[in-house]
Structure 1
Amino acid sequence: MTMASSRSHRTALSVNLNKVALVRNTRHLGVPSVTRAATLCLQAGARGITVHPRPDERHIRRHDVFDLAELLRAWPDREYNIEGNPFHNLMDVAREVKARGLPLHQLTLVPDSEGQFTSDHGWAFPQDAERLRPVIAEAQALGARVSLFMDAEAMQMAGAKAVGADRVELYTEPYAAAWHTPQRGSQLERFRAAAQAALDVGMGVNAGHDLNRDNLTAFLSTVPGVSEVSIGHALIADALELGYAATIADYNRCIDEAHV
């Protein structure tokens, strides 16, 4: 049995709804509904909802953040994860969520630029340390757990801990890109080492970006201590074919198989 599969806790599936909002925004009728999609995912067994409200509102809009937070009131055993750059709009959104008395479980801080196509790298230490410390402290004062979006570099984990992060979210696109190549094994080892380094300094581990039904079980079977995976693009694409209920069930199956 691998170290990862011998863990006592089960990895939580958080569904990123950005792509639902992206489709909705191509018309002006509110279809598909982001809150309806969230409800269907939660009913099907998702353990959380993730959104990344970018400044240009190309997908998730500001009102979506609050609408979803209101929805999560009815699901007290599920979590709400809001991602974004704390030096753009994220902290303003988080402050308003808190001011409205809405659920705010986790803030995932991502170092993307305004207008960036998609998140593609993590924070770096010691370069980002000084500017991150105060925003992490503020986020925690708002009652949120703080996760830092990080590349799978074991030597960087102590830096994330030193600035006060509760968790790291490992950026998994390099692993996904290597899935059909001879580099798959070396990428898995890289992520295993990074996760273990994070655990060794007392942080939790999340993971996300291009995880899917093909590569998820192998990842979780090898990488230790993953508390949460945040999956959007592949999951929503699968839901277009299978529906939300069957899709969530299959992702949960992938997670369960890693915990056998």
Structure 2
Amino acid sequence: MTKLSVNINKIATLRNARGANNPDVVKVALDCERFGSQGITVHPRSDERHIRYQDVLDLAQVVTTEFNIEGYPDQRFMQLIREVRPAQATLVPDPPDAITSNTGWDTITHQHLLRDIVDELHAIGTRVSIFINPEVKYFMPAKLTGTDRVELYTEPYAAHYHQDRKKAVAPYVEVAKIAKELGLGLNAGHDLDLHNLAFLAQSIPHLEEVSIGHALVCDALYYGLENTIQMYRRQLEV
């Protein structure tokens, strides 16, 4: 069964807009778990425009499901991972000024860098996932880094889903088979929502985890957080 990890960055964005502690990021994370989320994802950035580094430390004390920390593996990020030791660290190639993740790693060019980082994270007991585009050429180099999993960048799938969903998902099905052959666990994330999630999960039956934030929080404005999390869970159970 594919697990749902809720990315709570947008909750922090809303809180930061007023400068106080409403909504309370920690309380929302606990509520997400209580409502059925099987993991909590955060992506701290250097400017702390949404999740702050202190949020990560606070969440680490209370999250009881899988805690997944995404980010570019600069010195500050790596220090945070060493301190928190989350269940999973997802490495993304975002520059500091990126609004959101918009591509995966070039695992050919950055293979040695990623291998060193994976080794360091494994030494502290953290599972590693590398954010990756659905292109065959990146998968064997990803395997050679020693990573446990890869996370498929699904924005291209989401962008073309309504035009031709079978064509949109085809590259993901292809690389998912390669990942399985290589022994790589498979995650997915970016622009997944209530419209396109079930078809992706049906097409890739060994998908282990999806992390969803923006769309889920937007849906929660209409459906309520508890109901929305259950709606997303049902998409993964079809």
TM-score grouping bracket, smaller chain normalisation:
over 0.9
State the match for 1:252 in structure 2: 233
Task: Select 1:37's aligned residue among 28, 31, 37.
Answer: 28
Q: Aligned pair 1:205/2:150, yes or no?
A: no
State the match for 1:15 in structure 2: 6
Runs of 4+ in structure 1 over 3 Å off: none
TM-score w.r.t. the length of structure 1 is 0.89
Measured in 1, the distance between the counterparts of 2:91 and 2:109 equals 15
Matching of residues 71-86 of structure 1 within 5 Å? 71-72=62-63, 75=64, 78-86=65-73
Measured in 2, the distance between the counterparts of 1:212 and 1:88 equals 33
Matching of residues 144-155 of structure 1 within 5 Å? 144-155=126-137
Q: Aligned pair 1:170/2:161, yes or no?
A: no
Q: Aligned pair 1:229/2:210, yes or no?
A: yes
Percent identical among aligned pairs is 46
Local SS of the residue matching 1:71:
coil
CA drift at 1:106: 0.1
State the match for 2:223 in structure 1: 242
Local SS of the residue matching 1:89:
helix
CA drift at 1:125: 2.9
CA drift at 1:122: 0.6
Measured in 1, the distance between the counterparts of 2:47 and 2:36 equals 31
Measured in 1, the distance between the counterparts of 2:225 and 2:16 equals 20
State the match for 1:68 in structure 2: 59
Measured in 2, the distance between the counterparts of 1:67 and 1:254 equals 30
State the match for 2:139 in structure 1: 157
Instruction: List runs of 5+ in structure 2 lacking aligned partners.
Output: none
Q: Aligned pair 1:220/2:211, yes or no?
A: no
State the match for 1:3 in structure 2: none
CA drift at 1:88: 5.2
Residues matched between the structures, number: 238
Residue by residue, what CA displacement relative to the aligned partner does 1:223-242 show, whole Å, maximum 9, x if unpaired? 24110000000001111111
Deviates more, 1:238-247 or 1:228-237: 238-247
Measured in 2, the distance between the counterparts of 1:15 and 1:128 equals 28
Local SS of the residue matching 2:62:
helix
Measured in 1, the distance between the counterparts of 2:152 and 2:75 equals 21
Local SS of the residue matching 1:213:
coil
TM-score w.r.t. the length of structure 2 is 0.97
Local SS of the residue matching 1:21:
helix
Measured in 2, the distance between the counterparts of 1:54 and 1:125 equals 22
Matching of residues 190-201 of structure 1 within 5 Å? 190-201=171-182
Measured in 1, the distance between the counterparts of 2:90 and 2:201 equals 20
State the match for 2:115 in structure 1: 133
Measured in 2, the distance between the counterparts of 1:224 and 1:251 equals 16
Deviates more, 1:121-130 or 1:41-50: 121-130
Q: Aligned pair 1:87/2:69, yes or no?
A: no
Local SS of the residue matching 2:237:
helix
Task: Select 1:124's aligned residue among 97, 106, 111.
Answer: 106
Local SS of the residue matching 2:41:
strand
CA drift at 1:187: 2.1
Note if contact 1:192-1:224 (Cα within 8 Å) is conserved in structure 2.
Answer: no
Matching of residues 46-65 of structure 1 within 5 Å? 46-65=37-56
